[in-house]
Amino acid sequence: MIKFGKTIKLFLMDADPEGRMVCELSNWTGKAYRIPRGRVKDCADREELRSTAVYLLFGKADSSASRPKVYIGEAENVYNRLVQHVAEKEYWNESVVFISKDENLNKAHIKYLESRLHEIALQADRYDLENGNTPTRSSISEADQAEMEEFIQYVKMLVNTMGFKVFEPIVRQDDTSGNDITLYVSNSRGANARGKRVSDGFVVYMGSEIAQNPVASFTKGFSTLRDDLLAKKIVVEQGDTLVLQEDYLFSSPSAAAAVVLGRSANGLVEWKDSSGIDLKTIETAEIRDAETELSQKNESC
């Protein structure tokens, strides 16, 4: 399937990258506002934000082994709802609001969007959902459902572009980046793990075995992360082995290797493919191959 590029227009409402932002996508009737909690009060004059909308509230992770938080909601007057959330919900620090520029979203539409986005976020399993109840999905016509599913694809694209990967599975089944090589690492102290590169770090697969006893000189930061994973039952003891209970995203190959091996590690040389070729060599070869392909294309022109 051929994928075409998209143009995203960003407007910094406060001339500040940390302030309010409006995002629009070429050939789409939707519109996104990214609003920090402290800037909600400045949106009282935005008439667009007194319309029907679906929105997300984002909160930071509490610790290195915790996940960030998200609340997914809908409102017929989203500005008033955000004001209410400022007063009642403490955990969030940023919101993303989606409205329709042609005012084509009604109550049934936003209830459908809320339910589907909640479902997709649950399946992705990257964030802790703060919704107390599962949103009820409204019944809409087949034509409206198709339109809302297209709306959802653009919502996912913009939310991801803003840096919130709430709808992206840690391991994507449709990965076309070339990073889908399974890599391995092990040692004599019980480590035996599999993982892969992803766009925002390195994933170690569920079922991977973690070294039982870290070395005495183990870096404090990684030691704390390891302890947090054990405390949260993300890593559990099974007999004489520590086993990862879910696919887990680390910030880098080195962080993943260090926690798995129980010692300081350079992930670029520790992680190897099934032929024993390390990640550093793999990435160097990938860049070389891409440059060779580009050179051959230029020569043929």
Give how many domains the chain has, as a whole number.
2
User: CA geometry: angle at 102 spanning 101 and 106, to 5°?
Assistant: 100
Q: How far apart are alpha carbons 44 and 102 in whole angstroms?
A: 20
pTM, rounded to two decimals: 0.82
The answer to whether residues 157 and 191 belong to one domain is no
The answer to whether residues 98 and 229 belong to one domain is no
The amino acid that residue 226 corresponds to is: R
Instruction: Please write the tens of the pLDDT for every residue from 178-198.
Output: 567 999 999 988 999 999 999
How many C-alpha atoms does 200 have within 13 Å on its Cβ side? 14
Domain annotation covers residue 166: no
Domain annotation covers residue 122: yes
The answer to whether residues 80 and 12 belong to one domain is yes
The answer to whether residues 113 and 214 belong to one domain is no
The answer to whether residues 221 and 291 belong to one domain is yes
The answer to whether residues 12 and 156 belong to one domain is yes
Domain annotation covers residue 202: yes
Instruction: Please write the tens of the pLDDT for every residue from 128-161.
Output: 999 989 999 999 999 999 999 999 999 999 999 9
Residue 128's pLDDT is what? 94
**Is the pLDDT confidence value at 173 over 70?**
no
Q: Which domain holds residue 68?
A: 8-161
Please check whether residue 8 is in contact with residue 22, taking contact to mean a CB–CB distance below 8 angstroms: no
Residue 180's pLDDT is what? 77
Domain annotation covers residue 237: yes
The answer to whether residues 70 and 214 belong to one domain is no
Residue 103's pLDDT is what? 81
The answer to whether residues 123 and 196 belong to one domain is no
Residue 170's pLDDT is what? 86
Instruction: Please write the tens of the pLDDT for every residue from 62-105.
Output: 877 788 999 999 999 999 999 999 999 999 999 999 999 888 89
Final residue in a domain of this structure, among 126, 161, 196: 161
- Between 38-42, 63-67, 128-132, 218-222, the lowest mean confidence (pLDDT) is in 63-67
